[in-house]
Amino acid sequence: MCGIFAVINDKKNNASQTIIEGLKKLEYRGYDSWGIAVKTKNKLVVEKHIGKIGNAQTFLPLSNIGIGHTRWATHGGVFDKNAHPHLDCNNQFAVIHNGIVENYLEIKEKLIKKNHKFLSETDTEIIAHMIEEELKNKDYSIDDLAKKVFKSFKKLAGSNAVGILDAKTETIIACRNGSPLVFGFDEKNNQYFLSSDIPALLKHTKNVYFLNDNEAVVLNKNFFQVYDLIKEIPKKINFEKINLKSSSAEKEGYPHFLIKEIDEQKKTILKTAEKNIFLIEKSLKYFKKAKKIIFIGCGTAYHCALLAKYLFAKNGFESDAYQANEFSAFSNLINKKTLIIAISQSGETADTILAVKSAKNKDAKIISIINNRGSTLERISDFFVPIYTGPEIAVVSTKAFTSQLIITYLLAKSLNFKQKEGLKNIKKLSKELNKWLNQSLKNKIIDLAKKLLKENHFYIIGKDLNYPASLEFALKIKETAYTHAEAFASGELKHGVIALIEKNTPCFVLASNDEHKNDIISSATEIKARNGKIFGIAPFESKIFDFFIQTPDIKELTIIPNIIIGQLLGYYLGIGKGADPDKPRNLAKSVTVK
């Protein structure tokens, strides 16, 4: 996944400055390298750098038009030469790209035979040369350019979003098929923007159009025009007004987005529930018609899917939960009576989208639970529930996860005619979080992180709802602190896992005040008998715990504070290890490639 940003008619005639600021907002999408191209009086000028954009500055010449990119490497290592924008042989067309061109090798071979010289190992570079080849020796208009760009784009296999800056006509053309692209229009200053996501646009305009698959937009200083890429005809569009403050994409005094977003859960959980009661009611008809209910997602979203399966079972409804990337193994079981609930923060995760598309081919109905409005998943779903948490910028998911979980909880309660009780519990959870998630808790976790900083392996156990909760707890530690953390169902211990326990091996025990409490304490006792060290995360104390962090007792929802401890511990361990909590190594916020 990568970030695309472009501007035309920059009001300060300083496009590179506007672009670098935009890229900084998109950096969560990829942070291996970055680059910018602007058009000066005579030519395209490009700069490229490896590493995070962080506090970087740009000194490109003044210009009112340019494109920029922040990269998450797929084809070609992390070198300056592989950073975008990429140029054709004559430095006429600059290209930025998000996605994978699956057939790039065969196209590249043909272009090489026609004497095109390639400077990078990327799939992206072929696009610049394809357009060059199409327009070779031609005196072209913007219309001609658009036709050739559309023609070239349609030859690309895979999910892609592309932006092209043409030096001659001073035009930017962007095409979308599978990867997100938003067009922003600042009417007051006649500025046009392109961005992979909303946060980078908020400072400039709230007036946006989410390009659909197979749409393109042509931007020139005098006009803009959206096109249907298949028919190659102009399209009338309506802009949407984005209801988000630009501060929602800022750290607002916090040292990192991650800790800001962990704290925000004090508000977001209740907001998600209250704003969605109507939609939840409306969605119930899909559940009533379904013979089979399946939750899917990847990573944290899959943990939410698994928790949903437990929550549904508790309310008397059978369902299944699959990692979207393993869905193909079960797709033969899908039919028109299947309801898929796809969970995704970004709504752009390729594995989830592919699974949804394959289920749609079998006439299954799709409900999605998403954060990013206008996403691909939203568009291909029969019904969607937006979680309204505002932008989640840290790569590690926290507030989006707990809000997605709250939706599945409310769905289960509503289907079981217990919506009021569910809402009451959510209000109690929110109230408790407001008291409990404070500096004194954070200080306690900081102390714990200091004690655990040198440990290489953590084990986490839980039973029932606390088992999927343990999986999510472990993922937070792995992603943010780069420490091996493995979660097990506590009952599995004796079946093999217990062989891993040595003297002082740190074992976290996640528990709630429920009927499984004694079972989990027994499992902890078995670990203790092998000299493991027990860190209890629960609403109740036990003499078996060597270290205890009390979480509020909110029945089934106790899993949320239990998981928040994992979010906080991951954050403080990561800081202690000198990691960047907002941009963990090797990760990208949404994985838009297979």
Q: Which residues are catalytic?
A: 2, 589
The contacts of residue 438 (CB under 8 Å, 6+ apart) are none
**Encoded tokens for 381:** 């779903």
Q: Which stretch binds ligand M6R (CB under 6 A): 27-35, 248-256, 343-351, 437-445?
A: 343-351
Residue from 301, 364, 366, 406 touching ligand M6R (CB under 6 A): that is: 301
Residue 425 binds ligand M6R (CB under 6 A): no
Residue among 74 and 152 whose Cβ is closer to ligand M6R: 74
Q: Of these, 120, 346, 483, 512, which contacts ligand M6R (CB under 6 A)? A: 346
- Specify the residue, 2 or 415, whose C-beta has the smaller distance to ligand M6R: 2
The distance of closest approach from Cβ of residue 591 to ligand M6R in the complex, given in angstroms and rounded to an integer, is 5
Cβ 352 to ligand M6R, closest distance in Å?
5
Indicate whether 98 belongs to the interface with ligand M6R (CB under 6 A): no
Query: Which of 150/401 has CB closer to ligand M6R?
Result: 401
Q: Which stretch binds ligand M6R (CB under 6 A): 18-26, 91-99, 225-233, 341-349?
A: 341-349
Burial of 55 (0-12, 13-18, 19+ CB in 10 A): exposed
Residues 6+ apart with CB under 8 A from 307: 405, 408, 465, 468, 469, 472, 559
Torsion of CA 543, 510, 583, 323, to 10 degrees: 160
Q: Of the ranges 344-352, 358-366, 505-513, 573-581, which one interacts with ligand M6R (CB under 6 A)? A: 344-352
Angle at 213 between CA 246 and CA 105, to 5 degrees: 110
506-510 sheet: strands from edge to edge: 484-489, 457-462, 506-510, 533-538, 547-550
In the chain, the amino acid numbered 142 is I
Query: Which of 122, 177, 276, 344 lies at the binding interface for ligand M6R (CB under 6 A)?
Result: 344
CA-wise closest residue to 277 among 409, 399, 428? 409
Closest residue to ligand M6R, based on beta-carbon distance:
299
Binding segment for ligand M6R (CB under 6 A), chosen from 95-103, 210-218, 296-304, 512-520, is 296-304
Residue 511, amino acid: A
Q: Which of 414, 591, 592, 593 binds ligand M6R (CB under 6 A)?
A: 591
Cα–Cα distance, 231 to 233 (Å, whole number)? 5
Smallest distance, ligand M6R to C-beta of residue 402, A: 12
- Judged by CB, which is closer to ligand M6R: 171, or 346? 346
Please choose, from the candidates 271, 244, 318, 344, the residue with its C-alpha nearest in 3D space to the C-alpha of residue 590: 344
Q: Hey, which bits of 400-470 come out as E strands?
A: 457-462
Nearer to ligand M6R, 209 or 473 (CB): 473
**CA of 132: how far to CAs of 110, 183, 259, 419, in Å?**
13, 25, 47, 60
What whole-number distance in Å separates Cα of residue 374 and Cα of residue 240? Answer: 10
Query: Which of 63, 159, 191, 300 is in the footprint of ligand M6R by CB under 6 A?
Result: 300
Contact between 397 and ligand M6R per CB under 6 A = yes
Question: Which of residues 84 and 583 has its CB atom nearest to ligand M6R in the complex?
Answer: 583
Nearer Cβ to ligand M6R (73/395): 395
Least gap, CB of 441 to ligand M6R (angstroms): 21
Task: Kindly state whether residue 298 participates in binding ligand M6R, applying the rule CB under 6 A.
Answer: yes
18 or 344, CB closer to ligand M6R?
A: 344
> Using CB under 6 A, which of the segments 184-192, 199-207, 390-398, 507-515 binds ligand M6R?
390-398
Find the binder of ligand M6R among 14, 283, 319, 352 (CB under 6 A): 352
Q: Which residues, 474 to 513, sit near ligand M6R by CB under 6 A?
A: 479
CB distance 470 to 476 below 8 Å: no
Q: Which stretch binds ligand M6R (CB under 6 A): 392-400, 414-422, 487-495, 518-526?
A: 392-400
| C-alpha gyration radius of the chain | 25
- 566 is a site residue for ligand M6R (CB under 6 A): no
> Is residue 529 within a helix (H) or strand (E), and if so which, with residue range?
helix 517-529
Which residues, 6 or more positions from 143, have their beta carbon under 8 angstroms from its beta carbon? Answer: none
| Structure tokens, 379 | 């568009």
CA distances from 442 to 223, 252, 447, 578 (A): 52, 18, 9, 18
Q: Which is nearer to ligand M6R, 164 or 563 (CB)?
A: 563
Tokens coding 152: 């070239």
Tell the smallest beta-carbon distance from residue 307 to ligand M6R (Å): 13
Amino acid found at 180: P
Q: Which of 171, 349, 483, 490 binds ligand M6R (CB under 6 A)?
A: 349
Nearer to ligand M6R, 47 or 472 (CB): 472
What dihedral do alpha carbons 417, 419, 421, 427 form, nearest 10°? 170
**Which range, of 13-21, 80-88, 160-168, 297-305, touches ligand M6R by CB under 6 A?**
297-305
The CB-of-587 to ligand M6R minimum distance in angstroms stands at 6
Estimate to the nearest angstrom the gap between the alpha carbon of 353 and the chain centroid. Answer: 13
Say how far apart CA 481 and CA 567 lie, in whole Å: 10
Output the smallest distance, CB 302 to ligand M6R, in A: 8
- Considering only 101, 194, 395, 485, the residue that binds ligand M6R (CB under 6 A) is 395
Phi and psi torsions of 453, nearest 5°? -55, -35
**In this structure, what are the phi and psi dihedrals at residue 186, rounded to the nearest 5 degrees?**
-95, 95
3-state DSSP assignment of residue 460: strand
User: What are the structure tokens assigned to 250, written together?
Assistant: 């800022």
Residue 375 binds ligand M6R (CB under 6 A): no
Task: Note the residues at the interface with ligand M6R (CB under 6 A).
Answer: 298-301, 344-346, 349, 352, 395-397, 479, 587, 590-591
